[in-house]
A and B are shown apart, each in its own frame.
Chain A
């Protein structure tokens, strides 16, 4: 685009310079030759007035010279000067018989070498300045050695013309460059717009917005590229959707057998006392694992919920009440401490999802990390900061991001029991509420999970 502008600027500059030099040379030479012609005519008229009609020179012998003309008797140089036709000449001066005769103008304004050249018998012209005005001085010999006629012609109008031309050319060059720049920009934008669109859409897909598509399918130049790009994006979107739905579908299918097993197990446990002692322990084992299985299925359903299109329901929630209700119920005792500044904080939330966040964090602390040492709610950060402390060995720094992945149990911290979906669900639901989650060390040992949510004062 800049290249277009520079090209336009270069071209118009060259054009302007060429135009300038040609036109100014032409105008100057025209002016000069017309000035010389006028002065020569005047000199001829002067010669006629001073010396009479020219005598034909007929030398009799080879080396004989024509004699110099002689002044007409009784002629006055000033009268002859005055009789010259009026021209545009600003000054007319005659050097005759060692005297200056001047109609207008001062001979002292003429450069001496110009006078000498003319007196020596040559026509001469030169640009000079008289009283600060540019003029063209012309000297013409009038027939006798050491005598000449001088005039100067104003160049002001020529200079004005040339100045106007110069300004016009410069303005035209700049305007051309700017227009070139604009046209270049327009042309490049038009030509590159589909590419910009492609960049934007590809970027959107890369950032996870898989339903972004190019609209240039009917573009004659980019249609093919757009179609194959869109095809690829559609395939990717379908693949991701199928993958995401798979877990949900599997868990869905598991629900019926799970319901049969859970209710049968409940029946058996209701009549535990009637069981022969030899099967009581196996039934207990079966019951425990069945419960774990149930939670896995529920977690899988939970985490595939968003993929299944559940947009959830948002309502205004007092965050302190919610954390207290979920935290205390999960721990089975009072674990929640609410700072006074957090009591009035509210946020738009899906209660069910936030309950899962708190319940899963407390459950994680209870089941895998030596018990929940407290749940805190305070104002700060994005709005509200919720902390869940445990008494476990803490989480190694290198595991701290991995524990929020699906089945991403920490490798070095040893908390591998459980199915490893609880914290992934927590991270997902916190993100759903535009919040953040991180894990640090609790002062005094153990881990501290810190959830920040965008709450405000009611």
Chain B
């Protein structure tokens, strides 16, 4: 079955041409011209991926992204004009899973979407379906993390990041490795994506996110997950 996309952009010509090109790539595309319509469409017919332009007329893309996150763990790809530190980091902090820059082409976008929709691949054949790290229980096929019987509200990308780190069994994974495993980027992926996701993940899985016990930084090397 074709994956469905919600395309949020205030420029009608961009919406038209991206819809045509993405439909040609095999996606089902819904359009929204502003943040209000986007949230309504999200409730009416939840898509597999949201493509969100940061420049919207009624409210900025960051706000829309935060509002989407309040009710949904759907992957969000934001579209930015520039790769300035501020825009990208702010968008990722607001809950976006990945970003693309204009001018973007449907083919490249399609590669990003496929990477986000890919399910967690087991690191090795011996890997159990249920991983335990400290007080966290990670159900890999069910894409669910519980602590003391309570489900933690992770997005799909956050879950993939956590599962990859758990699968490494305490070994350090570099930012490049994580970018490749979780987002499907090569050497030149933007490692700020990893850093912001680690920050977001800590807020959810750590009892004291300011001094993390499980998801620790290996300075200059990367990150690892310890019990």
Q: Which residues of A are at the interface with B, using a C-beta cutoff of 8 A? A: 252, 255-260, 262-264, 266-267, 270, 294, 297-298, 301, 305, 308-313, 315-316, 321-322, 325-326, 329, 351-352, 355
Stretch of B18-26, B121-129, B146-154 that contacts chain A: B18-26
Q: Are A352 and B190 also in contact (CB < 8 A) when A262-B105, A270-B24, A294-B103 are? A: yes
Q: A310-B82, A310-B84 are in contact. Are A259 and B24 (CB under 8 A)?
A: no
Q: CB < 8 Å: which of A258, A259, A308, A315 contacts B191?
A: A315
* Complex-state Cα separation, A267 to B192, whole angstroms: 33
B70 at interface by CB-CB < 8 Å:
no
**B24 x A267 contact (CB < 8 A):** yes
| CA–CA, A175 and B106, complex, Å | 86
The answer to whether A352 touches B188, judged by C-beta atoms less than 8 angstroms apart, is: yes
Closest to A271 in B: B24
**B17 and A260: CB pair below 8 A?**
yes
Partner of A255, one of B81, B85, B106, B220: B81
Determine the chain A residues whose CB is within 8 A of the CB of B191 once the complex forms: 315, 351
Q: Within 8 Å of chain A (Cβ to Cβ): is B14? A: yes
Main secondary structure of the interface of B (DSSP, over half): loop
**Interface residue SS majority, chain A:** helix
Min CB distance A325 to B, Å, is: 4
Docked Cα-Cα span, A252 to B11, in Å, equals 14
Contact of A309 among B84, B102, B107 (CB under 8 A): B84
Residues of B within 8 A of A262 (CB): 103, 105
Minimal Cβ-Cβ distance residue in A for B175: A315
* Residues of A contacting B20 in the complex (Cβ-Cβ under 8 angstroms): 263-264, 267
Q: Does chain A have a CB within 8 A of B130?
A: no
The reply to whether A263 and B17 contact each other, CB–CB distance below 8 Å, is yes
In the complex, the chain B residue whose C-beta lies closest to that of A264 is B17
Taking CB atoms, residues of chain A closer than 8 Å to B11 are 256
Say yes or no: B83 contacts A266, CB within 8 Å.
Answer: no
Which residues in B have their C-beta under 8 angstroms from that of A256?
11, 13-14, 102
Chain A CB count within 10 A is highest, among B18, B81, B188, for B188
Known: A255-B102, A266-B21, A267-B20. A313 touches B192 (CB 8 A): yes
Q: Point out the residue from A266, A297, A298, A310 that lies within 8 Å of B85, measured CB to CB.
A: A310
Which residue, of B17, B20, B24, B103, has the highest number of chain A Cβ atoms within 10 A? B103
Taking a contact as CB atoms under 8 Å apart, the answer to whether B85 and A311 are in contact is yes
Bound-state CA distance A194–B188 (Å) is: 51
Contacts of A322 in B (CB 8 A): 187
Are the CB atoms of B220 and A260 closer together than 8 Å?
A: no
Q: How far is the CA of A97 from the CA of B188 in the complex (A)?
A: 129
Per-position binary interface string of chain B over residues 108-124, scored 1 when its CB falls under 8 Å from any chain A CB and 0 otherwise: 00000000000000000
With contacts A260-B13, A352-B83 taken as known, whether A255 is within 8 angstroms of B103 at the C-beta atoms is: yes
CB-nearest residue of chain B to A329: B186
Query: Can you give 25 A-B contacts (C-beta < 8 A)?
Result: A252-B81, A258-B103, A259-B17, A260-B14, A262-B105, A263-B17, A263-B106, A264-B17, A264-B21, A266-B21, A266-B107, A267-B24, A270-B24, A294-B103, A297-B103, A305-B82, A308-B82, A308-B84, A310-B82, A310-B83, A313-B192, A321-B187, A322-B187, A325-B187, A352-B83
Chain B nearest CB from A52 CB (Å) reads: 123
Q: Which residues of A contact B104 (CB under 8 A)?
A: 259
Complex formed: what's the CA distance from A256 to B17 in Å? 11
- The answer to whether A263 touches B105, judged by C-beta atoms less than 8 angstroms apart, is yes
* A residues in contact with B83, CB < 8 Å: 310, 352
Q: Which residue of B82, B106, B188 is within 8 Å of A355 (Cβ)?
A: B188
Do the beta carbons of A263 and B81 come within 8 Å of each other?
A: no
Q: Other than A256-B102, A310-B84, A352-B190, give 17 A-B pairs with Cβ distance below 8 A.
A: A255-B102, A256-B13, A258-B103, A264-B17, A266-B105, A267-B20, A267-B24, A267-B106, A294-B103, A297-B103, A298-B103, A308-B84, A310-B85, A313-B192, A351-B188, A351-B191, A355-B188
Bound complex: CA A309 to CA B83 (Å): 11
- The residue of chain A having its C-beta at the shortest distance from the C-beta of B16 within the complex is A260
Contact string against A for B residues 186-200, beta-carbon threshold 8 Å, 1 for contact and 0 otherwise: 111011100000000
A66 to chain B, nearest CB (A): 125
CA distance in complex: A255, B103 (Å) = 6
Smallest CB-CB separation from A259: which chain B residue? B103
By a CB distance below 8 angstroms, the chain B residues around A351 are 188, 191
